[in-house]
Structure 1
Amino acid sequence: MENERPLIFHFTKLFAGSVKPFVSSQIETYWSQLRFNCLLFLQRLAFRDLSPQAPTLFLVTPKEPIIGLSDAEDSGESLLGHFMIVGKKRAAHLGLTNGFRMVADEGPEGGQSVCHVRLHILGGRQLGWPPG
């Protein structure tokens, strides 16, 4: 995954406000006034995926540059738990009342394509098993 490290910069640009995705969280409230400066007091950002694998798919990612779950420290437990709560709340807001799936890809064999930890929330249709 060494060759993918420059993709971290994409998230860094996102957090700096030089890239504007379709923002999909409470940040929408602050967007016009603060742009991404609100990330100074928020721990995460939720936004829509550019290549959705389900009718509804969005990502939750920290502003902190954590490459993957294997790099997370025990001190990050509350942040990673917060991801799941943010994902659950955003899924409810988007009307995923019949269920959804949360996925965190880790490493090459886990399908991680970007070197920045993130949680994918998928829904909007019956999701099959096994997933891959």
Structure 2
Amino acid sequence: MRKFYLIGFALLLLFDTLGQSSFKLTAIHAQPLEASLEWIIRVFTQPWVYIAIAGYIGAFFTWMVLLKKAPVGPAFAASHLEVVTVMLVSAFLFHEHITATRIMGAVFIVAGIIFLALAEKEIIHTEHSKDDEAC
């Protein structure tokens, strides 16, 4: 089951990060932003917009498969690791700065996910102990 979660959340992060990064690339290549038919054509002639859509479709189906087995609280929190991966990819692809504040935010996100996972593990352990005592 652990391998299922690791692979599933890795795929979810990959698809989410791919989608976000591709939307950014679409926006960059479709400049300048304007309310016109030409702008819409520029957007939809960029391959990045289709990669972004594919990323979101992949994330949607991966998320549905994960939710069949994963507890929703920790799973929802873990899905927000995307914020961290997008920040890292943005620094590499778009030369965005990673500031101390952003690093601190990423650490808090990761710590929160870890604490929620530990709490869920404790709840499951407590429930199994109660079930064993009832038998």
Q: TM-score, normalised by structure 2?
A: 0.30
Structure possessing the higher radius of gyration over alpha carbons: 2
Structure showing the higher helix proportion among its residues: 2
Q: TM-score, normalised by structure 1?
A: 0.31
